[in-house]
Amino acid sequence: MDERSAKCVMVLDEQLPIGLAVNTAAVLALTLGSGVKALLGPDVRDGSGHVHVGITTLPIPILKADGEKLKRLWLQARERGDVFVVDFTDVAQTSHVYEEYTQKIAALSAEQLHYLGVALYGKKEAVNKLTGSLPLLR
């Protein structure tokens, strides 16, 4: 997808304390970068010749919503099929090792999960339709 037609956003639970919000954004960002290679630009050299690892090619606004809106957003985005969706839940936040996370989440339905954050990547029109009314996290 051409970066001029693409959009990426994160939506975090507006009730998260700053430490958990930053952690949630970091996890979402890592997973986005792994799942959407087009988000990452090539390495660049500065004027001194030092290499800097490529960063995101798109701005990533961080929006806020309450827990119920996050849950609906996750479901609506997944149902669309044209948006890459990453979620981070309270199950992930409270698990100490990945195996624990996989076991806990397997025992719960999507309806039982509390979403702390959702990241979306897709065509601007699709992402805007899903998130256009959400305010920035400040």
Residue ranges per structural domain of the chain? 6-131
Chosen CATH of 6-131 out of 3.30.300.100, 3.30.565.10, 3.30.2290.10, 3.40.1490.10: 3.40.1490.10
Query: Which position has the higher pLDDT, 3 or 16?
Result: 16
Q: Tell me, what's the pLDDT at 4?
A: 77
132: burial class by Cβ within 10 Å (0-12, 13-18, 19+)? Answer: exposed
Instruction: Please state, for a pLDDT cut of 70, what percent of the chain lies above it.
Output: 98
Spatial contact of 52 and 44, defined as CB atoms under 8 Å apart: yes
The model's pLDDT over 49-75, given as tens digits with 9 standing for 90+, comes to 999 999 999 999 999 999 999 999 999
Spatial contact of 77 and 83, defined as CB atoms under 8 Å apart: yes
